[in-house]
Amino acid sequence: MTELSKPMRITLSAQILRQMEQCILSGSWQTGQKIPGEMELMSQFGVSRNTVREAIQSLVYAGILQTRPGDGTYVLCRNRFDAALQSRLHAANLDEILETRLVLETDIVRFAALRRTPAELEALHQALADRDQPDLEKHQFILADSAFHLKVAELCHNTLLYDMYRSMLVFLERLVEAYLFTSGFDRQLEEHSALYQAIVDRDAMQAMEIVRMLVASEQRTFHQADAQIAAKTKKVYSENSLNQTI
């Protein structure tokens, strides 16, 4: 006979914490968005300041929220899984991250090519058109590029793969914006159009090959940017040392 356990009472702060997590998961509070202040949350939930603070601190420790002194509290990650993966990505080196992306994305595009529905192709085509706009600023392009790849991930119809890939893309967006544009950057318009067409044609092998080329190109670009940054740093260091000598 199965042994039943007694129901556990949940503290008020734990209840508020769950509601806050649901606000994030539902999209009411977006990643990067500032959440309502303590007074507003007290009013919305009908609880004390201490209860609100306790719930916020729990989410801060979990890596989901981030407090900024003098500014407020912001959504850092969508959930605990996302927060844990982001933390692990910070500890990985660039080659490990790109290799993991390659493993994930090759299967994602394979499944997308095999599982996509005709109705989904219209949204994917629009995401490609948004990405390929010639007048996008760098930040806008990075977001549009991620949106296209996330749309592809949706078409694979595997929510676990999607969540893992989405978390990795969020991390890569920061890397790209930090130093990928130190020199001219190939936006790879033809390659992404070819990837779209492979998915339309249900050509899984072609889609996988295109992803391998895209990630290999991205890896070369990152390493070139690293070399440029290192060279500039060395030059500045040498000039400062020379000035100090003089």
pLDDT of residue 43: 92
pLDDT tens digits, one per residue of 18-57? 999 999 988 899 888 999 999 999 999 999 999 999 999 9
Taking Cα atoms as reference points, which of 47, 48, 23, 25 lies closest to residue 36? 23
Kindly tell me if the per-residue pLDDT of 240 is higher than 90.
no
What integer pLDDT is reported at residue 227 of this predicted model?
A: 63
Read off the pTM.
Answer: 0.73
Report the distance separating Cα 177 and Cα 171, nearest Å. 10
Residue 239 has pLDDT above 80, yes or no: no
Domains of the chain plus CATH, in order, are: 12-78 (1.10.10.10), 92-236 (1.20.120.530)
Tell me the two tokens of residue 23: 């606000």
pLDDT in tens, 62-86: 999 999 988 999 998 888 888 888 8
Work out the mean pLDDT of the chain and round it to a whole number: 84
The answer to whether 172 and 101 are in contact (CB under 8 A) is yes
